[in-house]
Structure 1
Amino acid sequence: MTAIPLPPQPLPRGRLPRWLPVRRLRQVLCLLPLVLVGVVAVRHRSVLADGFGQLRTAEWPWLLAAAGATCLTWVAAAVTRQGALVQRLPPLRLLATQFAAGAANHLLPTGLGASAVNLRFMAVCGVPPVRSSAALALYLLAEGVARVGLLAALLLAFPGALRLGTLLPEGVAGPLPAVLGAAALVAAGSLLLVRRLRSAVCAFLRTALGEARSVHVRPVRALALWGGALAFPLLQAAGLVAVGRALALPVPPAHVAVAYLAATVAVALVPTPGGIGSVEAALVVALVAAGGPAAVATAAVLAYRVVTVWLPLLPGALTLGALVRLKVL
């Protein structure tokens, strides 16, 4: 009697086929951040060498202060991330994730690396995708509002700190509003014409507004969200002030803070990994517009980027790989 072959049984939901080398894939993902660090370092080796060269002539107590401010930015990011979500996240793993997300943010186009890492972390912690996406949107909104609000407040307090027009390349100020307007029209047209997209966006907005209300009815969460969002750019600006002091940059600290906030707002739409290249150029122009000599401003920016980007990049990549290996991400 011939046996009748049974049809292949479907895999249980969430299970991967046995032939898929999951362990090998995870090992590759652990090593991928280190490979990307090497690629980025090779591509920007001249900037990296110049930046480390400037550190030799700097005053080390101020550089240590800049490093301390940089470390506190990860704490501020962790506090803000927790404030954007009602569900409690593991504090130590959340902090380690922000350190790793900083490295991912410098290896991928601006914002994508950190967003992907945090979405994955929230998924592992059991947060539904819709709620984690809403928390991410709330975090980005709070960070943007806080940064622009601080810039506006400092410009009102110090109206002569710098000329904002110098932050944009010549000829960009004219077509920029037209480009932004055209993008807004395309987005609005897509929402009106594509029913499925419109339904998905409306559902997401309802969830996001509900999550925002849930966060703001809890004073601890609201304080963490907005306090962390305000502290994050202030700590970044404090790091640049400290590096400027280390290299004797003749610009008042408040004007340096204005220059930093204006430069980072100006390059927010430039999709380069971690703003590498665009941030340096905008910061140099902003510091010169604030009254600093071009040579000293360039040296301060290079040293600042070494302290805040290049020195934490390798440890951050190692932390990212370790979190992937430990299945935290």
Structure 2
Amino acid sequence: MTAVQTPPGSAPRTSRFSRALRRLPVRRILVLLPLALVAVVAVRHRAVLVEGFGHLATAKWPWLLAAAGATCLTWVAAAVTRQGAVVDRLPALRLLVTQFAAGSANHLLPTGLGASAVNLRFMTVCGLPPARSSAAVALYLMAESVARVGLLAALFIAFPHALRLDSLLPDGAVLPLLAGVGGAALVVVVVLALVRRLRTAVFTFVRSALGEARSVHTRPSRALALWGGSLAFPALQAAGLAAVGTALGLPVSPWHMALAYLAATVAVAVVPTPGGIGSVEAALIVALVAAGGPVAVATAVVLAYRVITVWLPLLPGALTLGALVRLKVI
């Protein structure tokens, strides 16, 4: 029986290729990757940046400082909520810095994916098993979503005529929208019913997440941190928009601006754009106009708000993210 001979020189080439891959400075690449993504995103949205900074120059600075302060407090609220999602105690300072870096990652990757990946890695490095880390991320996302929708419902009840809903959706769009949501839900159910391996994985994850949620809620301090931080996070974001609107003289009540913000962010939550860039701006402008604001002023408010909450923290957040990777915190 004749043995199959390897072509001369192929084994050495393969081994050299493997050694070259192992020698690649992977950590250095990961450190520089956020900065490269910041440059790409900034170039793509340079017109928005220039116009947004132009509006900031004409605004009332005390209110802009209030908006910046509310933005900084959102990182504290996120850190409190992340701690509330796990029973184990996480290092407080590193957790807070990680939330700042995660915000930058969230604006560079599809919505929610960047921050979740950073926090998942952080908790794993802190010693939590991957299953519990994933469950904690899911619990955080669930609590923040419930809190955001709950705040929106409360403001709708308090100010039922704040938004002109007929201007948010064109005539005849409600039924197709509901049909689309129902169809998507039906597709998910059918896929889970037909694909046994996927169904098993989903059910296993859900059981793990429910177990983590039960453990967290047996400790009042963790439950308070989870739900208090989840409520504070969207409230601070809405307060930031209201402060920018006041700074630029938008003739809309701050409560109505907060309601418009929550309605817009809930509406675009399913749009997988990096940090909601583009979709959030459009939805916020439409919501502020529906609340009674002039189109030109509403556009200026949204651009200035996004500069404060997205663009100004983006570069330092990316630098922090790179430093955390280099220091092996994540």
TM-score by length of 2: 0.92
Structure 1 residue aligned with 2:10:
none
Structure 2 residue aligned with 1:44:
45
Whole-angstrom distance in 1 between the partners of 2:292 and 2:115: 34
Structure 1 residue aligned with 2:153:
152
Structure 2 residue aligned with 1:228:
229
- The aligned amino acid for 1:107 is L
Alpha carbons of 1:87 and 1:245: their partners in 2 closer, same or farther (altered >3 Å)? Answer: same
Deviations, residues 44-82 of structure 1 (Å, cap 9, x unaligned): 111110000001101111111100000000000000011
Alpha carbons of 1:244 and 1:220: their partners in 2 closer, same or farther (altered >3 Å)? Answer: same
Aligned-residue offset at 1:285 = 0.9
Deviations, residues 14-65 of structure 1 (Å, cap 9, x unaligned): xxx8754466111011000000001000111111100000011011111111
- The aligned amino acid for 1:248 is G
Structure 2 residue aligned with 1:73:
74
Whole-angstrom distance in 1 between the partners of 2:110 and 2:206: 25
Gaps of 5+ in 1: 1-16
Structure 2 residue aligned with 1:285:
286
Structure 2 residue aligned with 1:108:
109
Contact 1:167 1:266 in 2 (8 A): no
Structure 1 residue aligned with 2:120:
119
Alpha carbons of 1:45 and 1:111: their partners in 2 closer, same or farther (altered >3 Å)? Answer: same
Structure 2 residue aligned with 1:166:
167
Whole-angstrom distance in 2 between the partners of 1:54 and 1:117: 33
Contact 1:168 1:266 in 2 (8 A): no
Aligned-residue offset at 1:203 = 1.4
> Matches of residues 300-311 of structure 1 in structure 2 within 5 Å?
300-311=301-312
Whole-angstrom distance in 1 between the partners of 2:184 and 2:90: 36
Alpha carbons of 1:237 and 1:186: their partners in 2 closer, same or farther (altered >3 Å)? Answer: same
Deviations, residues 133-181 of structure 1 (Å, cap 9, x unaligned): 1111111110010000000000100111102353346665332222222
Q: Does 1:243 align with 2:249?
A: no
Q: Does 1:272 align with 2:273?
A: yes
Deviations, residues 244-272 of structure 1 (Å, cap 9, x unaligned): 11111111110010000001011111111
Aligned-residue offset at 1:195 = 1.8
RMSD after superposition: 1.5
Query: Please, which moves more after superposition, 177-186 or 307-316?
Result: 177-186
Structure 2 residue aligned with 1:95:
96
Contact 1:33 1:317 in 2 (8 A): yes
Whole-angstrom distance in 2 between the partners of 1:301 and 1:118: 28
Aligned-residue offset at 1:197 = 1.7
- The aligned amino acid for 1:55 is L
Q: Does 1:26 align with 2:27?
A: yes
Query: Please, which moves more after superposition, 192-201 or 107-116?
Result: 192-201
TM-score by length of 1: 0.92
SS at match of 1:174: helix
Whole-angstrom distance in 1 between the partners of 2:167 and 2:213: 37
Q: Does 1:316 align with 2:307?
A: no
SS at match of 1:126: coil
- The aligned amino acid for 2:274 is P
- The aligned amino acid for 1:272 is T
Whole-angstrom distance in 1 between the partners of 2:162 and 2:235: 17
- The aligned amino acid for 1:115 is S
Whole-angstrom distance in 2 between the partners of 1:18 and 1:217: 51
Contact 1:80 1:224 in 2 (8 A): yes
Alpha carbons of 1:228 and 1:73: their partners in 2 closer, same or farther (altered >3 Å)? Answer: same
Whole-angstrom distance in 2 between the partners of 1:117 and 1:83: 17
- The aligned amino acid for 1:85 is V
Deviations, residues 67-101 of structure 1 (Å, cap 9, x unaligned): 00000000000000110111111111111110011
% of aligned pairs identical?
78
Contact 1:267 1:279 in 2 (8 A): yes
Structure 1 residue aligned with 2:9:
none
Whole-angstrom distance in 2 between the partners of 1:97 and 1:175: 41
Aligned-residue offset at 1:278 = 0.8
Aligned-residue offset at 1:293 = 1.2
- The aligned amino acid for 1:299 is A
Whole-angstrom distance in 2 between the partners of 1:304 and 1:211: 36
Alpha carbons of 1:128 and 1:288: their partners in 2 closer, same or farther (altered >3 Å)? Answer: same
Whole-angstrom distance in 2 between the partners of 1:39 and 1:83: 35
**Aligned residue pairs, count:** 313
> Matches of residues 51-70 of structure 1 in structure 2 within 5 Å?
51-70=52-71
Structure 2 residue aligned with 1:218:
219
- The aligned amino acid for 2:119 is N
SS at match of 2:329: coil
- The aligned amino acid for 1:65 is A
